[in-house]
Copies of this chain bind each other. A is one copy, B any other.
Amino acid sequence: MSVEVLASWSEGSAKDAVIDFVVESARHGSSGFIPTVERIAAFDNDGTLWVEQPMPVQAPFLLEKLVAQVRADPSLADEQPYSGIVNHDEEFLRGLAQQVPDAVLAFLKGVGAAWEGTTPDEYETEVREYLATHTHERFGRPYTDLVYIPMMELFELLRTHDWRVYICSGGGRDFMRVIAEDTWGIGKENVIGSAPEFVYKEGKLVRENSMRGNLALGAGKPEHLFARTGRLPRFAAGNGDVDIEMLEVADFGLVVVHDDKEREYAYTEAAEQILDLGPDHGWTMASMRDDWVTVFDQGGMT
């Protein structure tokens, strides 16, 4: 008797390549065998595990928080990043979207100040509240419903072959950890992301207005993965140019290609290089349109 795997993937070379690599990695005597301790798989989050259009899920959460800060203290509206946000300053917002350093740094400064002095539990409560009360502007569903079912099946395939699955995203570590266990079935400890510093004083952890190391983007991805696990991943999946380095270090690279404007989105922005480099690197290019039978869970469009 055989067990069906990757049921939401269309028959074809992408599905075959993924299954072949994972099954061989666990077959003793295979040329593709990988010792169990080395079976570390790393996944980007936004655009790889769930919808990142029209903007990454965390962005409206952060923007809403900064707007609330200005409401509580109107004098903030005179300075960045608050003035750019409340005045819908197109140049500032475009700078943020295009990751212009000045804009990003001003934004992170605002984010750092917003939660300075709070505990991890307080932040988790805010994220849960946000996710429970907001829906995606196009799909009208909670964000956690917009996780790609084919990727959840891939987690399961990896786990049943003794892989440890890590998330490695430039997004906020503590934001992702809130959904890790319920939505992904992954322990909080397997989530790597950009993060603030916390200090332990008087019996509790309190958030500081400073970042913990570099952002988990680009070269930061293998750097964070090594720091966390002591190894580099043998399997890696991403969808954007900031995932290139993480795929470079892996034996198997999977690229999610956003070419399905009917069921999700079709775009190449911030993915031009990975789409160009992928085939030359031998990475498996998974077309959302052609390789996935189902994108989202039953409740929505499939």
Residues of A at under 8 Å CB distance from B? Answer: 37, 40, 120, 164, 173-174, 177, 180-181, 187-189, 191, 195, 197-201, 203, 205, 212-213, 219-220, 222-223, 226-232, 245, 248-249
Contacts and interface: CB of A to CB of B under 8 A. Distances in A.
A227 B200 contact: no
A181 B230 CA distance: 11
A230 B177 contact: yes
A253 B191 CA distance: 27
A247 B231 CA distance: 29
Contacts of A188: 37, 229-231
Contacts of A222: 200, 205
16 contacts: A37-B181, A37-B188, A40-B189, A120-B230, A173-B230, A180-B230, A187-B229, A189-B228, A189-B229, A189-B231, A197-B213, A199-B219, A200-B245, A201-B219, A205-B223, A228-B228
A212 B213 CA distance: 7
- By Cβ-Cβ distance, the 5 closest A-B pairs, closest first, are A188-B230, A189-B229, A200-B219, A200-B222, A177-B230
B181 A198 contact: no
Nearest to A203: B248
A191 B226 CA distance: 12
A230 B174 contact: yes
Contacts of A198: 223, 226-227
The winner among A164, A199, A212, A230 for most chain B CB atoms within 10 A is A230
B164 A37 contact: no
A189 B230 contact: yes
Given A200-B245, A212-B213, A213-B213, A205 B189 contact: no
Contacts of A201: 219
Contacts of A187: 37, 164, 229
A40 B190 CA distance: 13
A200 B225 CA distance: 11
Nearest to A205: B226
A231 B173 CA distance: 13
A243 to B, nearest CB: 13
A219 B203 CA distance: 9
Given A199-B219, A200-B219, A226 B189 contact: no
Contacts of A191: 230
Contacts of A197: 213, 223
Nearest to A248: B203
Contacts of A37: 181, 187-188
A229 B198 CA distance: 13
A31 B197 CA distance: 34
Contact of A223 (B199, B223, B226, B227): B199
A225 to B, nearest CB: 9
